[in-house]
């Protein structure tokens, strides 16, 4: 972090950007150089035959993990925003209550239980994991999108109507951009939670950073657990900080 | 031209607009004035179909506003509201360009139009083009609001208490500017205000509303000199209306042929009676010369006091 100390005059946005780059560099280094940490883990756990997880490379695990989070994230963002937009239109307002209830139930249902229920229907692997992550992650996106759209200043909407925006133009050019920082906060929460939660996918055969954790737990190999957990944590922090930077970018002109 | 024919609007059975008929001629500057809840904003918002008529109809350049596409209709008006309604995520230039962009004007034409309008509202384009609304004062924001309303060269401007949120000095400056723009462009303007002085100062005609009804529709001098109802008389300040009348009457209307000596102090024929009275008070005289072509003319204190009689 010396780079930050060297540049006291930098804007918050620039500092946040540098923070993301440094985190990303640390993440890539850790993932690629994990085999090189063998002496360290050997010293830490002298009793272990194989102190570094090697069934799959950490690059493969990380990419597969990210793929699951990205796919479920894309579904959650698309579906969640669509639902939120629908219930904030006058014609969809009647459904706001029922949508609230359904998503709240989705949130209270433990992802492990969703996995257990999804496996008989979808088999083992990535599919039940994506279902569980989607069910678990949709609530923050819907909530934040509804809150964001309701936070748009009424004069901006009145001006847009009065100047002859169509409904679509009003939504795309005025409402969504003005709601963006709040919507983004919901997406940030969902992704941070799902990066952690995706690890349980490995219990039903999905390839994730949970694989070394679960194998370490069942085989009493604490080193595996630490390796998996550190990469997951660094991944979650990096994504979270990337969103913190994006938030500053979006808000830079708001008074 | 905007023609209101027996326009009525009811909410829950109560008429908020009650059988209003009036004609706003092309190029007129009509101020809608009245107490809160009189229906003036509702009437304005019915003009561009933001609020629908329950009875009667409104014709804009011979189109029934209930029968044309509301989006296309609204793009033919400029629209200015009290809280400016500027889009905070867009630069000043992008805000001004709003309607031209919706209409799909080519980029160079939009850029030229934006600069022209910013100059018209006294915001040097080079300095303000790329700023964001949050970086401007309230008065500057509303100047951008006015520029934005004029951008696509609309047939008419609808202004809903545009200066209501501004301090007195800024408000007066913007009123002068809008009056200048009205003179320069000849646009039809419909402006809602609860400020009687603003209605008198800006309007070529004043529409006085009370309880959803149009109680008087006449030029300012007539509203002041001959209020249609006791309500109108009270709204315009009773005896104080005579003072307001000074502001809408020209020296030329009261000047008389000079008899004998022409006074040393002069006042322009197009000045208001208010300015003439102020000059008399300042100079401690009871008569002023009114320079012009033809025989010498003067205005005396008595000419101001006797009124139109």
Q: How high is the ipTM of this complex?
A: 0.84
Q: pLDDT value at position A255?
A: 56
B255 shares its domain with B181: no
CB of B78 closer than 8 Å to CB of B157: yes
Q: pLDDT value at position A7?
A: 54
CATH number (domain holding residue B215): 3.40.50.300
Q: What is the mean pLDDT of residues A28-56?
A: 88
For residue B257, count other CB atoms closer than 10 A to its CB. Answer: 9
**Kind of pairing, strands B29-33 and B55-60?**
unpaired
Cβ neighbours of B99 in A, within 8 Å: 163-164
Report the DSSP beta bridge partners of residue B290.
B297
How many folded domains does chain B comprise?
2
Q: Given CA atoms A163, A144, A201, A235 in this order, what sign does their dihedral have? A: positive
**B134/A169 CB distance under 8 A:** no
Chain A closest CA to B72's CA: distance in Å? 7
More confident residue, A72 or A113: A72
Residue B82 lies in a domain: yes
Chain A closest CA to B200's CA: distance in Å? 26
CB of B219 closer than 8 Å to CB of B206: yes
Cβ neighbours of A161 in B, within 8 Å: 50, 74
Nearest Cα neighbor of A131 from A147, A114, A143 is A114
Residue A244 lies in a domain: yes
Residue B244 lies in a domain: no
Residue A113 lies in a domain: yes
**A159/B81 CB distance under 8 A:** yes
B108 shares its domain with B224: yes
The chain B residue lying nearest A180, using CA atoms, is B89
Run of H or E residues at B24: strand B14-24
How many folded domains does chain A comprise?
1
CB of A107 closer than 8 Å to CB of A240: no
Q: How would you write the pLDDT of chain B (309 residues) with one tens digit per residue?
A: 999 999 999 998 889 999 999 999 999 999 999 998 899 999 999 999 999 999 999 999 989 999 999 999 999 999 999 888 999 999 999 999 999 999 999 999 999 999 999 999 999 999 999 999 999 999 999 999 999 999 999 989 999 999 988 999 999 999 999 999 999 999 999 999 999 999 999 999 999 999 999 999 999 989 998 999 999 999 998 778 888 888 888 898 888 888 888 888 999 988 999 999 999 999 999 999 998 888 889 999 988 887 655
For residue B190, what are the domain limits? 2-239
Mutating which of A151, A155, A156, A159 best tests the B interface, going by the most B Cβ atoms within 10 A? A159
CB of A242 closer than 8 Å to CB of A20: yes
Residue B194 lies in a domain: yes
**A254/B89 CB distance under 8 A:** yes
B104 CB near a chain A CB, below 8 Å? Answer: no
pLDDT of A4 over the 60 cut: no
Coil/strand/helix, residue B297 = strand
Cβ neighbours of B84 in A, within 8 Å: 155, 159
Residue A3 lies in a domain: no
Cβ neighbours of B102 in A, within 8 Å: 163-165, 169
B211 shares its domain with B300: no
B145 shares its domain with B267: no
Q: pLDDT value at position B245?
A: 86
Chain A closest CA to B143's CA: distance in Å? 15
For residue A94, count other CB atoms closer than 10 A to its CB. Answer: 9
Cα A107 from Cα A99, distance rounded (Å):
12
Chain B closest CA to A99's CA: distance in Å? 30
CATH number (domain holding residue A123): 1.10.3720.10
CB of B29 closer than 8 Å to CB of B189: yes
Buried b or exposed e, range B151-190, using 16+ CB within 10 angstroms: bbebebbbbbbbbbbbeeebbeebbebbeebbeeeebbbb
For residue A179, what are the domain limits? 56-208+237-251
A179 CB near a chain B CB, below 8 Å? Answer: no
Query: Percent of chain A, pLDDT > 70?
Result: 96
Q: pLDDT value at position B181?
A: 93
More confident residue, B185 or A4: B185
Residue A200 lies in a domain: yes
B274 shares its domain with B211: no
More confident residue, A169 or A117: A169
Q: Give the C-alpha distances (Å, rounded to integers) separating B231 from B36, B44, B166, B223.
A: 14, 22, 27, 11
Spatial strand order of the sheet with B14-24 comes to B14-24, B2-11, B55-60, B63-64
Q: pLDDT value at position A8?
A: 59
Cα B124 from Cα A177, distance rounded (Å):
28
B157 shares its domain with B228: yes
- The residues, any chain, with a CB within 8 Å of residue B126's CB and separated by 6 or more, are none
The residue out of B219, B239, B259 marking a domain boundary is: B239
pTM: 0.83
Chain B closest CA to A163's CA: distance in Å? 6
Please, what is the average pLDDT of chain A?
89
Nearest Cα neighbor of A137 from A188, A71, A76 is A76
Residue A23 lies in a domain: no
B195 shares its domain with B286: no
H helices then E strands: how many in chain B?
A: 15, 13
pLDDT of A1 over the 50 cut: no
Cα B256 from Cα A55, distance rounded (Å):
109
Q: Could you read off the pLDDT of A48-87 as tens digits, one per residue?
A: 888 888 888 999 999 999 999 999 999 999 999 999 999 9
B283 shares its domain with B254: yes
B8 shares its domain with B155: yes
Tell me the two tokens of residue A93.
Answer: 């307002």
Residue A43 lies in a domain: no
**Kind of pairing, strands B287-290 and B297-300?**
antiparallel
Using the 8-state DSSP alphabet, how is residue B263 labeled?
Answer: P
H helices then E strands: how many in chain A?
A: 12, 0
**B81/A158 CB distance under 8 A:** yes
The residue out of B239, B257, B278 marking a domain boundary is: B239
Task: Quickly state the pLDDT bin for A9 (edges 50, 70, 90).
Answer: low
Among A15-29, A235-249, B45-59, B258-272, the range scoring the smallest mean pLDDT is B258-272
The chain A residue lying nearest B102, using CA atoms, is A165
Q: Give the C-alpha distances (Å, rounded to integers) separating B204 from B45, B55, B183, B218, B231.
A: 21, 28, 11, 8, 21
Cα B309 from Cα B300, distance rounded (Å):
15
CB of A100 closer than 8 Å to CB of A36: no
């Amino acid at each position: 972090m010396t780079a930050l100390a060297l540049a006291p005059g930098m804007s918050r946005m620039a500092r946040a950007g540098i923070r993301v780059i440094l985190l990303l560099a640390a993440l890539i280094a850790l993932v690629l150089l994990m085999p090189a940490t063998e002496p360290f883990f050997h010293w830490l756990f002298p009793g272990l035959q194989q102190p570094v997880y090697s069934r799959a490379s950490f690059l493969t695990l990380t990419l597969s993990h990210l793929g699951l989070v990205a796919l479920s994230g894309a579904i959650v963002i698309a579906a969640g925003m669509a639902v939120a937009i629908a219930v904030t239109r006058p014609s969809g307002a009647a459904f706001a209550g029922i949508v609230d209830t359904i998503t709240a139930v989705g949130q209270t249902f433990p992802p492990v239980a969703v996995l257990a229920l999804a496996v008989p229907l979808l088999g083992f692997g990535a599919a039940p994991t994506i279902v569980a992550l989607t069910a678990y992650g949709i609530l923050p996106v819907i909530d934040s999108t509804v809150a964001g759209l309701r936070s748009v200043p009424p004069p901006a909407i009145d001006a847009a109507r009065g100047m002859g925006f169509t409904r679509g133009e009003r939504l795309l050019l005025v409402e969504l951009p003005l709601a963006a920082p709040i919507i983004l906060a919901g997406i940030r929460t969902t992704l941070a939670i799902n990066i952690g939660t995706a690890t349980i996918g490995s219990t039903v055969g999905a390839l994730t950073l949970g694989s070394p954790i679960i194998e370490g737990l069942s085989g009493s190999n604490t080193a595996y657990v630490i390796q998996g957990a550190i990469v997951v944590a660094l991944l979650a922090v990096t994504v979270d900080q990337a969103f913190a930077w994006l938030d500053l970018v979006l808000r830079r002109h708001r008074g | 031209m905007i023609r209101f024919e027996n326009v009525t609007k009811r909410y829950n059975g109560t008429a908020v607009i009650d059988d209003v008929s009036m004609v706003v001629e092309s190029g007129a500057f009509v101020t809608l004035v009245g107490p809160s809840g009189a229906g003036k904003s509702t009437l304005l918002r019915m003009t561009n179909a933001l609020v629908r008529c329950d009875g009667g109809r409104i014709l804009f350049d011979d189109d029934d506003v209930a029968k044309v596409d509301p989006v296309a209709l609204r793009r033919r008006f400029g629209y200015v509201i009290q809280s400016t309604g500027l889009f905070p995520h867009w630069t000043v230039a992008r805000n001004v360009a709003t309607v031209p962009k919706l209409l799909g004007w080519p980029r160079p034409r939009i850029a030229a139009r934006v600069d022209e309008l910013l100059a018209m509202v006294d915001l040097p384009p080079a300095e303000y083009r790329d700023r964001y609304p949050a970086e401007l004062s309230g008065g500057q924001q509303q100047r951008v609001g006015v520029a934005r309303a004029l951008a696509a060269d609309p047939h008419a401007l609808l202004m809903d208490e545009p200066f209501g949120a501004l301090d007195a000095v800024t408000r007066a400056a913007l009123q002068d500017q809008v009056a200048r723009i009205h003179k320069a462009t000849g646009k039809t303007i419909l402006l809602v205000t609860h400020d009687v002085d603003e209605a008198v100062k800006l309007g070529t005609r004043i529409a006085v509303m009370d309880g959803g009804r149009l109680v008087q529709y006449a030029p300012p001098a007539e509203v002041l000199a001959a209020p249609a109802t006791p309500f109108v008389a009270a709204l315009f300040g009773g005896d104080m209306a005579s003072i307001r009348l000074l502001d809408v009457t020209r020296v030329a209307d009261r000047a008389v042929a000079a008899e004998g000596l022409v006074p040393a102090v002069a006042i322009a024929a197009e000045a208001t009676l208010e300015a003439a009275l102020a000059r008399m008070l300042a100079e401690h005289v009871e008569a002023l010369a009114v320079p012009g072509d033809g025989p010498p003319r003067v205005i005396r204190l008595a000419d101001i006091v006797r009124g139109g009689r």
